[in-house]
């Protein structure tokens, strides 16, 4: 029995990861245990139009049980097409039918207002999945923590965002882990502080890659090599590591230039989005590094990226290193930067 499903859904917003999770959740509900008599149809590409949905609703089907029609890309629909084709079709929805419309919105690509109205008129549900602005994430994290029985103080919320990253779904997973992994001797309802976040919240792949980049900034070749090998063993791709190392090294160069211009370490640390102790270590490492060395490190990372993709397009300009394996190239670059 599929009483949980409404006749229609519109899942929209610019948090594309959350929209995708909603889609996966609906399909799991429709196709999971106890839903053997449910058929799921997916309309996408050229078939995913208001006329295509209307035609699908009008089509006869031999399927027994609830019929679920999943429609992708409705952020591209026009108001006039919805009003001219879909309003009437969804006003006469066949029984035991669910239409689930998904809009991955950005800029001007948004689900038309008429679609909101027609879904509500059909007895359906409209769900907005919007990204939270970076500066609003700590407050949002505290609200989400409260919903699952955690008390997160302001410093802990900031530490969580700095340590885990700004992806809302990842932040939610980490909050859920904190709620599940509470120590038996902790008082019920105890407040989670920044120290516990730093000690126990799982570091994202980005944070672990930043640890590798921090070892490069600090010219610690042994730690950088060990960090790189650990990341590769857990399945991280070199292309992703290169991007994140470059980002961290650019941050380090920016800090080095600010320090060289006479800005105080305290002022620089206040502008960094990371836990205070991590910021202290990072600024201390940068302070021991000359900006020219960090610029050379960025050049080495750029060479690594080019060589790991097969080298320059013109063979005569290609480095002989381009024939080496990804890991050999990366370890050579680490030695060149931090050795």
Q: What is the residue-wise DSSP string for 50-110?
A: HHHHHHHHHS-----S-EEEEEE-GGG--HHHIIIIIHHHHHTPPTTEEEEEEEE-BTTB-
> Under CATH, to which class is 205-338 assigned?
mainly alpha
Model confidence at 205, pLDDT cuts 50, 70, 90, reads low
Q: Whole-number mean pLDDT of the chain?
A: 82
Q: Taking a C-beta distance cutoff of 8 angstroms, is the pair 131, 169 a contact?
A: no
Q: What pTM did the predictor assign?
A: 0.49
What are 253-263's pLDDT values in tens digits?
Answer: 999 998 898 88
Q: Taking a C-beta distance cutoff of 8 angstroms, is the pair 65, 37 a contact?
A: yes
Tell me, what's the pLDDT at 208? 66
Counting Cα atoms < 13 Å in the Cβ hemisphere of 159 gives 21
| Neighbouring C-beta atoms of residue 194, cutoff 10 Å | 21
Nearest to 102 by CA among 13, 5, 2, 169: 13
Return the H-helix or E-strand segment holding 206: helix 205-217
- Angle subtended by helix axes 168-180 and 16-31, to nearest 10: 60
What residue spans define the domains of the chain? Answer: 8-128, 134-200, 205-338
The two three-digit tokens of residue 164, written as one number: 């885990």
- Angle subtended by helix axes 221-233 and 326-338, to nearest 10: 160
The CATH code belonging to domain 134-200 is: 1.10.8.60
Mean pLDDT of the 204-230 span: 80
> Under CATH, to which class is 8-128 assigned?
alpha beta
- Percentage of the chain with pLDDT > 90? 27
What are 12-44's pLDDT values in tens digits?
Answer: 998 887 888 888 888 777 776 665 557 888 998
What are 81-90's pLDDT values in tens digits?
Answer: 999 999 999 9
Q: What are the beta bridge partners of residue 290?
A: none
What are 113-166's pLDDT values in tens digits?
Answer: 999 999 999 999 999 988 888 888 899 989 888 888 888 888 888 888 877 777
Based on C-alpha coordinates, what's the Rg of the chain?
Answer: 26
């Amino acid at each position: 029995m599929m009483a949980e499903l409404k006749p229609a859904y519109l899942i929209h917003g610019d948090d594309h990861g959350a929209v995708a999770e909603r889609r996966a959740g609906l399909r799991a509900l429709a196709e999971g245990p106890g839903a053997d008599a449910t058929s799921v149809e997916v309309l996408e590409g050229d078939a995913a139009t208001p006329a295509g949905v209307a035609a699908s609703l009008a089509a006869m089907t031999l399927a027994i049980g609830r019929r679920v029609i999943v429609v992708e890309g409705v952020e591209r629909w026009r108001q006039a097409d919805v009003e001219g084709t879909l309003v009437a079709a969804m006003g006469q929805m066949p029984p035991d039918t669910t239409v689930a419309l998904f809009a991955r919105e950005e800029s001007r690509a948004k689900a038309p207002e008429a679609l909101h109205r027609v879904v509500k008129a059909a007895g359906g549900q409209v769900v907005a999945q919007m990204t939270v602005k970076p500066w609003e994430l700590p407050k949002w994290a505290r609200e989400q923590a409260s919903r699952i029985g955690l008390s997160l103080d302001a410093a802990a919320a900031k530490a969580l965002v700095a340590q885990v990253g700004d992806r809302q779904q990842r932040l939610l997973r980490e909050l859920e882990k904190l709620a599940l992994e509470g120590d038996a001797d902790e008082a019920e309802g105890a407040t989670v502080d920044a120290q516990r976040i730093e000690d126990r919240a799982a570091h994202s792949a980005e944070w672990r890659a930043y640890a590798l980049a921090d070892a490069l900034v600090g010219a610690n070749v042994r730690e950088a090599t060990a960090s790189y090998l650990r990341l590769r063993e857990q399945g991280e791709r070199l292309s992703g590591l290169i991007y994140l190392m470059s980002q961290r090294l650019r941050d380090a160069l920016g800090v080095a230039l600010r320090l060289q211009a006479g800005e105080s370490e305290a002022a620089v640390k206040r502008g960094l989005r990371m836990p205070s102790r991590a910021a202290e270590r990072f600024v201390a490492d940068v302070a021991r590094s000359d900006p020219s060395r960090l610029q050379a490190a960025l050049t080495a990372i750029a060479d690594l990226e080019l060589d790991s993709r097969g080298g320059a397009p013109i063979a005569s300009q290609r480095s002989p290193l381009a024939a080496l394996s990804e890991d050999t190239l990366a370890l050579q670059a680490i030695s060149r930067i931090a050795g």
